[in-house]
Chains A and B, each alone.
Chain A
Amino acid sequence: MVGERAQPEVIEKIRKELGADKSVLSQYAGYIKLLLQGEMGRSYYTNRKVLDDILIKFPNTMKLAFGAMVIAVPIGIFLGFIAAYKKDTLVDRIISAVSITGLSVPVFWSGLIIMLFLSLKLRLFPPSGTGDIRFLVMPALTLSLPAIATLARITRTSVIEITGMPFIGTARAKGLSVFRINAIHIFRNILIPLVTVIGLDIASYLNGAVLTETIFGWDGIGRFTMDGIIKRDYPVIMGCIIIGTVVFVLINIIVDILYHYLDPRVRLYASDR
């Protein structure tokens, strides 16, 4: 913060300003007090309020996560259904191979390869930056690859499990159309594992966002965290971690509440029979 050749008095002054001369406990109490007032302190480097920066960058990360979900959810579920119906055939093997590859390729590398082809060779999208939908496509695509793989795997297993159940046999025997059996009987029953995975994936989006946002210069919370970490800008790091955890817990609560609507057998309250 002050450079390598700073005067001892300057260092002492800044230590006082930041409260670094106090004990760890009173520093902690100070931070908690700040949090309760709805503040997160100021960045050591830019001297901007951390909360203000987070509020600017957070919507960008949400846009990215939403974009990735829009790509991943339909493709993942579709591939999973196909693999389940063509179980143990060549098609199933190809889909499993594709999905396990999706889980194995590092996002920072697939992002660069996508950038190389779509942006630098075909010149379809701008290579990096934050902005409208043209800037969003490549990072969202990169972030969606591992999500597609997880979704396809979980859909396949769930569909195979449900198809083996007696009520599907009954539905077939009643002469229901294939579409009705799939769209209503099977799909409603795989929703619970799917919603769980999509909810958990939000956490992996936060993981992936650190890397994808760094590569594509997307001005979101992932890159903000990473910058903070590299500069050891503690107010920024703590603010980002608190926001990330709050979002994660909120998503888990939403998923738990959704269970009840997806499957009325799941009870929210003990008295709710």
Chain B
Amino acid sequence: MHLTGKIAGSVIIIISILAVFPSVLSPYDPEKIDLDSIKEPPGIKHPFGTDNKGRDILSRVLYGGRVSISIAVIAASISMFIGLVMGLCSGYLGGKIDTAIMAVVDLILAFPSLLLAIGVSIIFKSPGTYTVMIAIAFVGWASFARLIRGHILTLKEEAYIEAAEAIGCNRFRILFVHLMPQCLPIGLVMAGIKLGGYVLTEASLSFLGLGAQPPMPTWGSMVSMNRAYIASEPWMVLFPGLAIAVTALCFNVLGDALRDKSGLKVKM
């Protein structure tokens, strides 16, 4: 793996640890309002400054990371799982099932992905963490399904599948015992490639107010709520945005390295 891939991987590990244990480093309670120290510029007491309600930005960025990264990872897992099952069925069973699944996949991939995710998330009465995950996974599984289906089409011609059919394994067994393990690695690589994009989608949805709801901090909603202060107190917007950019960048670099290593030809 390239050096850049390794560096990106290490940064991801650090970010993930911070996201799991935000309380270790964060100096303040992220939701505590302190009206004595509103709009303070970055300094020793508040390394990233404070916002218009006196909340410490560093603490909020750390806790926001927990929300953003867990949503991206869980959404990627759901997408991978649904995509895997759909791709397996589509590729192995063929026929009408294949046509039907691929028609849905084409439909989803033909649509501007963010608009579709926004559309899905407004179906629910109250937006929140779960609706974001569902919205991202609803759009996300399609590209997994297409990739896995292509892989299965070549795999099902292999001798060991023919042998399994010959000794009378049922379809269910062939699908989930013989074919599924062969698809897991490319599914995981694909998930790695897609994660950066999911972080950005989560941030965009919560920027638009469709993500996790206040007072829970998320990076996107911090940028959105503080953007009125961009001229006078730019740090309020600068740091949460930087957190999104750095996380997405590291995931994308890592995804690139994974793709080069695996020889997969897929879009980010």
**A27 close to chain B: CB less than 8 A:** no
Once the chains bind, are A100 and B204 in contact (CB under 8 Å)?
A: no
Once the chains bind, are B208 and A226 in contact (CB under 8 Å)?
A: yes
Minimum CB–CB distance from A92 to chain B (whole Å) comes to 13
Complex interface: chain A residues within 8 A of B122 (CB) = 229, 232
Q: Mark A105-118, 1 if CB is under 8 A from B, else 0.
A: 11011001101100
B69-77, B172-180, B242-250: which lies at the interface: B242-250
* Distance in angstroms between the alpha carbons of A216 and B41 in the assembled complex: 26
Complex interface: chain B residues within 8 A of A237 (CB) = 119
Chain B residues touching A, majority SS: helix
Once the chains bind, are B241 and A113 in contact (CB under 8 Å)?
A: yes
Chain A interface residue number, banded = 20 to 34
* Distance in angstroms between the alpha carbons of A204 and B230 in the assembled complex: 26
Once the chains bind, are B234 and A211 in contact (CB under 8 Å)?
A: no
Chain B interface residue number, banded = 35 or more
Complex interface: chain A residues within 8 A of B223 (CB) = 106, 108-109, 112
Complex interface: chain B residues within 8 A of A105 (CB) = 241, 244-245, 248-249
Instruction: Out of B111, B200, B220, name the residue touching A104 (CB < 8 Å).
Output: B200
Once the chains bind, are A230 and B209 in contact (CB under 8 Å)?
A: yes
Once the chains bind, are A109 and B208 in contact (CB under 8 Å)?
A: no
Minimum CB–CB distance from B209 to chain A (whole Å) comes to 7
* Distance in angstroms between the alpha carbons of A248 and B110 in the assembled complex: 8
Complex interface: chain B residues within 8 A of A100 (CB) = 249, 252-253, 256
Once the chains bind, are A207 and B114 in contact (CB under 8 Å)?
A: yes
**A217 close to chain B: CB less than 8 A:** no
Minimum CB–CB distance from A160 to chain B (whole Å) comes to 14
Complex interface: chain B residues within 8 A of A104 (CB) = 196, 200, 245, 248-249, 251-252
A-B contact pairs, 19 of them (CB 8 A): A100-B253, A101-B245, A104-B200, A105-B241, A106-B241, A106-B245, A108-B223, A109-B223, A109-B237, A112-B241, A115-B230, A120-B230, A203-B112, A210-B115, A226-B118, A229-B122, A241-B119, A249-B110, A252-B110
Interface on B for A, CB 8 Å cutoff? 110-115, 118-119, 122, 196, 200, 203-204, 207-209, 220, 223-224, 227, 230-231, 234, 237-238, 241, 244-245, 248-249, 251-253, 256, 268
